[in-house]
Chains A and B, each alone.
Chain A
């Protein structure tokens, strides 16, 4: 089955890390990509870089943001292929975000029952 592992980080969770430590962390995320269960994914830039598009009076309107006052933000995702939920949960448990108080949402992909 195919799953998306949606990573939510706590705002400021890695603020105390040195640049060497951040590099190390980034390597960890890339290393997970080498796991046979992981089939894809992307890390996102910080939410400050986000823009939003919506329809206003039928025309697309782009605005800066959103800057929701939440303590958690969507930071990236992996796509995974696993036999069942337990198998994918074991992979998800290794995502570094968890160690920094983040959470990972496990969502089956539509049409991903193979």
Chain B
């Protein structure tokens, strides 16, 4: 609904205020007059009228006259109650690369996912005032810089879609780093929010393999979230209690991953890797091959590092260590912890402990620090 209004009005704040006013009118009238046949259509129409009233009051602001004209044109063209679904335009506006990443994330959560500013602030551990300012700044920039409210043309679409998916995945990972939400928190659990947004995007862009790939990846990861934590400790995949996995979600993710298998986008590849890793008998050579493909697509040494873990299973720790040692990732925690693990398996305990200690020095999160300390204590 907000998307539809921002589309018509071309103004974020105006649309938000108008929606709030429309809800207030509804709260007064509906109990007495009954709920209209098309409640959403009624709200959009009412909000649009409220916005026009407000624009008339603000007429002195010359810039807004243009909006008024556009609004009246828009109102004339569209029969009441028949409003277009413009959530896609809204997603691309919120994830426009001319906005800072943190602003893209905040705007997407506010405008597309409908979270309250206070909820977003809590999720990112910043004061509500800070989040409010961040959103305001972003909205001012959208208007002043003329960021377009539309689905990008074909030639820009791959890049813009990549940016939008990156925002979704960022939101997801913010939630995924925490233990699963309790029932009362699910509304604002960022992993759940990202999956919800992923479903919306998948419904709007059903032919984009990367959209489906990302949704598959998030479903697969999230399905194992309850098994990923024991108290505050992190439990890695091979040690996870499979009865804690959300199998319904896992199967949905696997089916989607299969659907996009064979496409070469990074999310589709990662989803297929994640799907293979949940099987009873894990096809490590195939996983290692997918990682090679992913490394070629992304050019990322971190992907090569993850691929080395699959190589360790498929061909043994020696082959994996050769790959790892060739990577220039000295400042990266997981490079050291992976080396530690491979060295431990090769029986080089002293070197393994040293590597784990380097990883511990770099580790930020408490569960990870505890895991590494346990590893150091066990390697003897």
Contacts and interface: CB of A to CB of B under 8 A. Distances in A.
B148 A108 contact: no
Contact of B152 (A83, A86, A108): A86
Interface in B126-183: 144-148, 152, 156
A100 to B, nearest CB: 23
Interface residues of B, number: 11
Contacts of B66: 113-114
B128 to A, nearest CB: 29
B79 interface: no
Contacts of A87: 148
A32 interface: no
A114 B147 CA distance: 15
Interface in A44-96: 82-89
Interface in B316-374: none
Contacts of B144: 108
B63 interface: yes
A114 B69 CA distance: 13
Q: Majority SS of interface residues in chain A?
A: mixed
Contacts of A86: 147-148, 152, 156
Interface string B45-73: 00000000000000000010010000000
Contacts of A114: 66
In this complex, the interface size class of chain A, counting residues with CB under 8 Å from chain B, is 10 to 19
A29 B98 CA distance: 25
B153 to A, nearest CB: 8
B148 A84 contact: yes
Contacts of A84: 146-148
Nearest to A86: B148
B63 A85 contact: no
B10 to A, nearest CB: 10
A98 interface: no
A106 interface: yes
Given A84-B146, A108-B145, 19 more contacts: A1-B146, A3-B146, A83-B148, A84-B147, A84-B148, A85-B96, A85-B98, A85-B145, A85-B146, A85-B147, A85-B148, A86-B148, A86-B156, A89-B98, A106-B98, A113-B63, A113-B66, A113-B146, A114-B66
10 contacts: A82-B146, A85-B96, A85-B98, A85-B145, A86-B147, A86-B148, A89-B98, A108-B144, A113-B63, A113-B66
Interface of B: 63, 66, 96, 98, 144-148, 152, 156
Interface of A: 1, 3, 82-89, 106, 108, 113-114
